Structure formats: C-alpha cells, structure tokens
Amino acid sequence: DFGQQPRGQSFRGLPMPPSEVVIGIQHESTSASASPPAPTGVVDEVETAAAAAVLERGRRLHEEWPANSQFFCDGRCITGPCHGASLCAWTCIIVPSIVYAAFALPKCWQDWHPLVPMAAIAVFGLTVLLLLFTCCTDPGVLPRRSILLATGTAEELSAILGYNVLGMPNDPNSPRAADPQGLVPVDLVAKGYRWCRTCQIVRPPRASHCPDCDHCVLRFDHHCPFVNNCIGQRNYRYFVGFVFSAVILAFCVLP
C-alpha cells in the first residue's frame, strides 16, 4: 500500500522520469513493430495509438512529452516551464557572492582567518549545487495513461505502487471523465486515492496534479517558481537543503 510507505522513501524502480522507460529512449522490448497492451476502452485505444505512433517514428519520448515540463541532457534532467522568478533566485545568489569575493574576501583573508572566506566559498558551492539538483531532478512524476499504455509499463507501475494505476475496468462506451469516482475502488477512495481527470490515472495519497507542469507528482508539496520545478518526493530533500544553505550563505556574504 503506497499510503503506508515511510515518508521520504524513494521508489527508484518506478518506470517514470528520470527512468528511460518514459522520458528517455524507448526500451529494446518496445520496438517499432511491438504492439501496446490491449486497452480496456475505446478512448484507451485512441490514446495508446497516438502515443505508440511517437515510438514508431523513432522519436525519444521526452521530445513528445504531453506536459509543460522541459528536458535537458538527453532527457535525464527535467524542470518546469521557464519563469522569471528562477532568474531572480540565481541573481540573488550569484551577484552578492561576486561582490563578496571582489571586496570582502581579500580583507577577511588577511585580517581574519583564511578558513572564514574558504567556508563562505564552500557554502556558495553547496547552495548552487543543491539549487541545480532541485531544479533539474525529477520530483516524482507519474506518467499519463497514454504513456503507460503505449510503453507497456502500466502493469509494472501498478505492481510497484500496489494498486491498479489505470483504475477499475468500466464500460468501454462510457467516457472516463463522466464518472471518475467509479474508476477508483471504494477501499482506495477511503485511503485517499483519487482520479486525475487530466492524466487519466488513479493517483495515490499525497500526490497531486501540478497546474504549472501539467502532470501528477508523488507526495506533491508545491510548485516553486524560484527553483522552476515542482517540489515532491524525489527532490524535497534537495529543496530543504537548498533553503538552509541559502540562509547560511546570506549570513556569510551579506554582512
């Protein structure tokens, strides 16, 4: 049961970013001639055919990702849509540090102990590194229904999460959005599992759909425009470390 997993545990085996199952090159088992698993409804067939067509054209899936996220380093790094607040965060970190290095660092080196400016430099490097990790790390994205069906990873993801991520089988002729609660088993609803109308999947407790990035995120906390990414299960620790290191850096360079 996903709801009983210890807080902060990382599901490294999930077939989702940064795994190449979803955003990188398709697996060898998903060849151009391979057929996606049989869907349960007419709408599933349309979605699966559209996503499978991307794979058949030899395109990397992250190049056709159906959301607002941006990918770098051949699909290994993921971040949110560009936002001016992110530039402001980098400016507030780099500019004061440059001023400190140009004017205060030589004086501190001579008048105080060399360990003082060296410590400030180390904190600056740590802050930048944690900011990069927070910006470019997958926060715990759950792939959309069409992606799971086209890549054949729905059963694997369901086995890892401990429930059917595609929902209960229903009448193929009835649209899923018309009766979303009917697709989530009653016992899962009581535990906090919900149906996502956009991703067309059952999301676990504490997961939520980010309106900025347009996909569901495990243990979603919030979308931070200053780091240009969602804060969720996989990058929460990086975010907390960045906040603390930024505060320490401010005490080092601003006085």
d(C-alpha 238, C-alpha 133), whole Å? 6
The answer to whether 253 touches 120, Cβ cutoff 8 Å, is yes
Give the whole-angstrom CA distance, residue 230 versus residue 85: 14
Q: Which of 210, 224, 230, 252 is catalytic?
A: 224
84-99 and 236-253 helices, crossing angle to 10°: 40
216 has catalytic annotation: no
Helix axes 115-136, 236-253, angle to 10 degrees: 150
Amino acid at position 199, single letter:
C
Q: What is the dihedral of CA 94, 212, 77, 35, to 10 degrees?
A: -170
Cα 225 versus chain centre, distance = 14
Strand segments, DSSP code E, in 11-165 are 70-72, 77-79, 141-142
Query: What does the chain come to in residues?
Result: 255
- What SS3 state is found at 94? helix
Distance (Å, whole) CA 163 – CA 29: 24
Q: Which residues are catalytic?
A: 224
